[in-house]
Amino acid sequence: MSMRFRFAPSPTGHLHIGGARTALFNWLLARKHDGVFLLRIEDTDRARSKAEHEAQVLRDMAWMGLDWDEGPSTGGEYGPYRQSERQGRYDTYIARMLDEGTAYRCTCSKERLTQVREAAQAKGEKPKYDRHCRNLNLGPDCGDHVVRFKAPLDGETVVKDLVKGDVTFRNEELDDLIIQRTDGSPTYNFVVVIDDHEMKVTHVVRGDDHLNNTPKQQLLYEALGLPVPAFGHLPIILGDDGGKMSKRHGSTSVGAYRENGFLPEALFNYLTRVGWACGDMEHFTAEEAIAARLAGEASPGRCGGGPRFSGRCSAFPSSAAGSRSTGALSTSATCSTGASRSRALPGCLHPSTRSTRSARCRCSARTCTSCCHACRTMALAIGYTETAGNSRGEAPRLSPPSPWRS
């Protein structure tokens, strides 16, 4: 069976560059392995999900050149690919879990749950449901209720992460999570399991902000007797102050980069290299990136391409890298510089670059990186600093933010 990857955006806003990078990594993996890349719209949050956001996400992905094999507009064997259209499937699985005793109805009121939470906090404990209804065997006529997962009370859950290695969670830390709300709508951790299973996803690759969800999902797979897919959690993109990339660091949406005149190739190339590098190679066309990228779970840390890409690279940084994208930007130049050193660059403003020294920026094709507005702005937006050029015509240099220098 072919490898199947997915991108599962929630259409509650624009396509964030972090989400675009998740989509890109999955797309590259799918293309590299001759697999399938599917798009699933996670719109269970009815209040915040909007058709116009979904349209924007699809447009932004298409603009970046990320096409999908299966999805809401494209169709496919395992659709529908919009969660709001899959309620019947979720109901079937909930009924099965209630039947098999791996889930239970809970009628605890909000007030009671607040009291339980406050009591735990007062004792300095982690706020958790006290499992009051777990063994009451409440039936369908119990009145307003949620459905909770009967999580194991002891033991450990080990997530075998393709990026981080084994990550162990103590089951007693996990809650009896709600899988269906009072209004009958299912919750994220549950639907994602059902959909990934039904859509035959073999590899779940996403940001490591989802890592804490993974043991819960893994236990749900096990409770349902379903095979567990492979998981890989990518370090998320951080701003130069180590915080989650947000507006205060610059533009965060793909749409904003497009509107500001960035070329899709520039964004594609840049995001390809955030969290990954391949020797000194700094510019990738989509085809090269596919060839070079992510040799696969068997050999994290190495380029997967042919002889051209023989250097050691930081694909899938090890757990030692923590949640920082340390590997990505450890070389001194920024995005999109080509490999054509010592080549005259007639469009460049910097004589030294023009004659011998620097590398050509493929985005504007005829300049060095510093002269390329798109690359320069992008680099500065994510925290690169620029040292001034000089009167001898040497180009200004862009250097990565200090937390990224290894």
Which CB atom, from 42 or from 282, has the smaller least distance to ligand GLU? 42
Size of the site for ligand GLU (CB under 6 A): 7
Give me Rg for the CA atoms of the chain: 24
Which CB atom, from 10 or from 364, has the smaller least distance to ligand GLU? 10
Pick the piece of the chain touching ligand GLU (CB under 6 A) from 4-12, 175-183, 280-288, 312-320.
Answer: 4-12
Question: Measured from the CB of residue 11, what is the shortest distance to ligand GLU in angstroms?
Answer: 9
Pick the piece of the chain touching ligand GLU (CB under 6 A) from 3-11, 223-231, 289-297, 325-333.
Answer: 3-11
Q: Which tokens hold the place of 98?
A: 């209630």
Which CB atom, from 31 or from 210, has the smaller least distance to ligand GLU? 210
Contact status, residue 37 vs residue 27, Cβ threshold 8 Å = yes
Chain residues 298-337 in contact with ligand GLU, contact rule CB under 6 A: none
Separation CA 260–CA 120 (nearest Å): 49
Which CB atom, from 53 or from 148, has the smaller least distance to ligand GLU? 53
Question: Measured from the CB of residue 42, what is the shortest distance to ligand GLU in angstroms?
Answer: 4
Catalytic-residue membership of 164 = no
Q: Which tokens hold the place of 237?
A: 């993109």
Interaction of residue 8 with ligand GLU, rule CB under 6 A: yes
Question: Measured from the CB of residue 283, what is the shortest distance to ligand GLU in angstroms?
Answer: 29
Separation CA 373–CA 365 (nearest Å): 12
Which CB atom, from 5 or from 384, has the smaller least distance to ligand GLU? 5
Question: Measured from the CB of residue 6, what is the shortest distance to ligand GLU in angstroms?
Answer: 7
Interaction of residue 10 with ligand GLU, rule CB under 6 A: yes
Q: Which residues contact 54 (CB under 8 A, 6 or more apart)?
A: 11, 41, 43, 72, 82
Question: Measured from the CB of residue 95, what is the shortest distance to ligand GLU in angstroms?
Answer: 24
According to DSSP, the β-strands at 103-106 and 36-39 are unpaired
Interaction of residue 42 with ligand GLU, rule CB under 6 A: yes
Residue of 178, 191, 218 lying closest to 41 (CA atoms): 191
Active-site annotation holder among 32, 160, 244, 247: 247
Residue of 406, 22, 51, 403 lying closest to 206 (CA atoms): 22
Question: Measured from the CB of residue 16, what is the shortest distance to ligand GLU in angstroms?
Answer: 9
Which CB atom, from 10 or from 369, has the smaller least distance to ligand GLU? 10
Instruction: Select from 4, 9, 37, 56 the one that contacts ligand GLU (CB under 6 A).
Output: 9
Pick the piece of the chain touching ligand GLU (CB under 6 A) from 5-13, 98-106, 230-238, 260-268.
Answer: 5-13
Contact status, residue 82 vs residue 72, Cβ threshold 8 Å = yes
Edge to edge, the sheet with strand 146-149 lists 103-106, 146-149, 178-180
Instruction: Say how far residue 304 (Cα) sits from the centre of its chain.
Output: 21
Contacts with ligand GLU, 167-206, as mask; x by CB under 6 A:
-------------------------x-------------x
Where in the sequence numbering do the catalytic residues fall? 247
- Chain residues binding ligand GLU by CB under 6 A are 8-10, 42, 192, 206, 210
